[in-house]
């Protein structure tokens, strides 16, 4: 492992890669502060720029954007009670009351230090867990992978939005359908191309991400007359006050951070769960374990109440890299986008990644830590200035998002058809968003579609067409049983609400 860490440090500490982490964190913070524009959009917009980099640098940039976006989301949660990303909703419960008491700077400092500590601890967990899990996952067979992908897709649908399980499952199916367009990987038979040559190679991943996130988000903002930049304008005018944390507050944080980081990391590792659930769980757990006196302060500016979700959401970000790096199966929409980008680079994440491309595997882990340091040193004192940059009207922001989206497709294919297809998908996605059809399940399904078909094919061929492979191995049966439980639970809940 020492050798791996050194490889990672050598790659991550090059001037170019440090610069990429800084740019990523900075850009991510800006996007994260805009309510509605989350880390997935930020990462999607970065894809065209990463074409010119090697895979390690490209992924380091995207990881920086991810952390920056989560940190930016916390800032608008604390200062305005307007979470930029869902993972920072719990931050506003105690962060915003603290800011209202004139302790905005202190709240931001607590959030930044908790994020830093949570990220650091989870990077250490990842450091130890990922190689071991990679070795374990070498024993995974096609049926296990197939079952795991079904679990991942069901879980992301279940957790994507409350009470919208069936809608999310429809989006999963739509994502898989889109992934099935083009040549079959084994027989080269074309499917669903309707004799259109442009569809023979299938629909590009970048196109689907740009259309369903960047472009449709821009169109939704215009359609709903939202102004995401108004929040940033207010942030730039807010008086922050002191950012010093006193001894008593530090003592409280020392207790909260370790337990919240463990929860955050473990939830992050689970497919589909992610930062939102991690932060809520950590907040709930913290409220249960603190003294009665401290419990009274929850919701009114508690240090523990702010520190717990902030630690957990950053730890979950690192945790979500575990299934992607070790199994090649992303645990969240954001890591699905990263997986798609990696596949675009010709790198196949999975159990063998740390043997075949150790520089990518280890440099991502090491760059996470560097990212945390940069967020702490650069972003905390610079928040009011970053917000000032954001005080551009949406009249400029929206065309720039559309421009980045079209450029991403243009430099990839030089093909008009792809641009029209992207606009078409974006219009449909915008309409679906209006009625709360979630997009992350679609992206995850689109990324996993090819892998899922391949593993189902192998499993069925090995079992001579019998579906017994689903319960032949204990591991497969356990994964599948968990999936069935999730489906049954959600169908039951839907019925129960009506009755």
Partner 1 sequence: MNINTTKIISLLFFIFSAFYLYTAYQIQVFAFDENAPFNARTFPIYLGYAGLFFSGLKVILPDPNTIKVDHKNLEYKKTGILILIAIIYGATILKVGYFLTTSLFLFASYYFLGERRWILMFLLSFPFVAAFMYLLHGILDIYLRDPFLKSIGVMG
* Site for partner 1, rule CB under 8 A: 48-49, 51-53, 162-164, 166-167, 169-170, 173-174, 176-177, 180, 184, 186-187, 189, 191-192, 219, 222-225, 393-396, 398-400, 402-403, 406-407, 410-411, 414-416, 419-420, 423, 427, 430, 432, 434-437, 452-453, 456-457, 460-461, 463-465, 491, 494-495, 497-498
Q: Which residues pair with 183 in a beta bridge?
A: 190
**Cβ of residue 52: shortest distance to partner 1, in angstroms?**
3
Residue 353 vs 444, nearer CB to partner 1:
444
Residue 222 vs 485, nearer CB to partner 1:
222
**Cβ of residue 490: shortest distance to partner 1, in angstroms?**
11
Q: Which residues pair with 352 in a beta bridge?
A: none
Residue 193 vs 482, nearer CB to partner 1:
193
Instruction: Give the span between the Cα atoms of 268 and 262, in whole angstroms.
Output: 10
Q: Cβ distance 110 to 245 under 8 Å?
A: yes
Q: Classify residue 85 by its DSSP letter.
A: S
Residue 55 vs 268, nearer CB to partner 1:
55
Q: Cβ distance 173 to 445 under 8 Å?
A: yes
Residue 162 vs 247, nearer CB to partner 1:
162
DSSP string, 479-497: HHHHHHHHHHHHHHHHHHH
**Cβ of residue 21: shortest distance to partner 1, in angstroms?**
17
Neighbours of 376 (CB within 10 A): 20
Q: Is 183 helix (H, G, I), strand (E, B) or coil?
A: strand
Helix or strand holding residue 474 (H, E): helix 474-498
**Cβ of residue 327: shortest distance to partner 1, in angstroms?**
20
Instruction: Give the span between the Cα atoms of 284 and 268, in whole angstroms.
Output: 17
Q: Which two three-digit tokens encode residue 96?
A: 């915003």
**Cβ of residue 469: shortest distance to partner 1, in angstroms?**
11
Residue 164 vs 276, nearer CB to partner 1:
164
Angle between helices 55-80 and 303-319 (to 10 degrees): 160
**Cβ of residue 421: shortest distance to partner 1, in angstroms?**
10
**Cβ of residue 46: shortest distance to partner 1, in angstroms?**
12
Q: Is 191 helix (H, G, I), strand (E, B) or coil?
A: strand
Instruction: Give the span between the Cα atoms of 70 and 68, in whole angstroms.
Output: 5
**Cβ of residue 420: shortest distance to partner 1, in angstroms?**
6
**Cβ of residue 166: shortest distance to partner 1, in angstroms?**
4
Neighbours of 425 (CB within 10 A): 20
Residue 49 vs 475, nearer CB to partner 1:
49
**Cβ of residue 360: shortest distance to partner 1, in angstroms?**
19
Residue 80 neighbours by CB under 8 Å, 6+ apart: 96, 231, 234, 235
Instruction: Give the span between the Cα atoms of 29 and 34, in whole angstroms.
Output: 9
3-state secondary structure 56-87: HHHHHHHHHHHHHHHHHHHHHHHHHCCCCCHH
Residue 385 vs 435, nearer CB to partner 1:
435
Instruction: Give the span between the Cα atoms of 147 and 136, in whole angstroms.
Output: 16
Residue 151 vs 269, nearer CB to partner 1:
151
Residue 191 vs 300, nearer CB to partner 1:
191
Q: Is 100 helix (H, G, I), strand (E, B) or coil?
A: helix
């Amino acid at each position: 492992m020492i050798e791996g860490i050194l490889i990672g440090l050598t790659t991550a500490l090059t001037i170019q890669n440090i610069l990429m982490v800084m740019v990523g964190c900075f850009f991510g913070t800006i996007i994260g502060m805009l309510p509605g524009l989350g880390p997935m959009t930020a990462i999607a917009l970065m894809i065209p720029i990463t074409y010119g980099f090697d895979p390690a640098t490209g992924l380091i940039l995207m990881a920086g954007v991810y952390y920056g976006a989560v940190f930016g989301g916390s800032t608008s949660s604390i200062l305005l009670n307007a979470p930029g990303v869902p993972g920072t909703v719990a931050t506003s419960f105690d962060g915003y009351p603290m800011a209202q008491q004139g302790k905005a700077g202190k709240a931001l400092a607590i959030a930044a230090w908790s994020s830093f500590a949570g990220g650091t601890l989870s990077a250490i967990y990842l450091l130890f867990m990922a190689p071991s899990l990679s070795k374990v996952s070498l024993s995974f067979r096609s049926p296990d992978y197939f079952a795991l992908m079904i679990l991942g897709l069901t879980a992301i649908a279940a957790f994507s939005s409350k009470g919208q399980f069936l809608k999310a499952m429809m989006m999963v199916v739509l994502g898989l359908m889109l992934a099935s367009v083009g040549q079959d990987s084994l027989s080269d038979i074309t499917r669903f191309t309707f004799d259109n040559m442009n569809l023979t190679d299938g629909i590009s991943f970048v196109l689907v991400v740009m259309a369903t996130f960047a472009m449709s988000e821009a169109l939704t903002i215009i359609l709903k007359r939202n102004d995401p930049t108004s929040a940033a304008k207010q942030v730039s005018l807010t008086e922050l006050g002191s950012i010093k944390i006193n001894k008593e507050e530090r003592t409280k944080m020392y207790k909260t951070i370790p337990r919240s980081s463990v929860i955050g990391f473990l939830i992050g590792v689970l497919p589909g769960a992610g930062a939102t659930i991690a932060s809520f769980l950590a907040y709930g757990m913290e409220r249960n374990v603190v003294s009665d006196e401290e419990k009274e302060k929850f919701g009114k500016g508690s240090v523990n109440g702010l520190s717990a979700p902030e630690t957990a959401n950053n730890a979950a970000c690192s945790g979500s890299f575990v299934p992607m790096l070790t199994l090649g199966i992303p645990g969240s929409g954001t890591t699905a986008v990263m997986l798609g980008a990696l596949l675009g680079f010709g790198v196949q994440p999975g159990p063998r990644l740390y043997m075949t491309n150790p520089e990518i595997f280890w440099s991502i882990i090491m760059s996470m830590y560097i990212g945390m340091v940069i967020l702490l040193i650069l972003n905390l004192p610079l928040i009011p200035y970053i917000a000032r940059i954001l005080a551009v009207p949406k009249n400029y922001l929206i065309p720039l998002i559309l421009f980045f989206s079209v450029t991403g497709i243009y430099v990839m294919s030089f093909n008009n058809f792809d641009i029209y297809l992207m606009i078409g998908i974006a219009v449909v996605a915008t309409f679906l968003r209006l009625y709360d059809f979630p997009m992350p399940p679609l992206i995850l399904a689109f990324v996993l579609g090819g892998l899922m078909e391949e593993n189902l094919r192998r499993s069925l061929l090995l079992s001579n067409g019998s579906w017994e492979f689903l319960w032949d191995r204990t591991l497969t049966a356990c994964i599948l049983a968990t999936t069935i439980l999730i489906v049954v639970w959600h169908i039951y809940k839907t019925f129960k609400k009506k009755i």
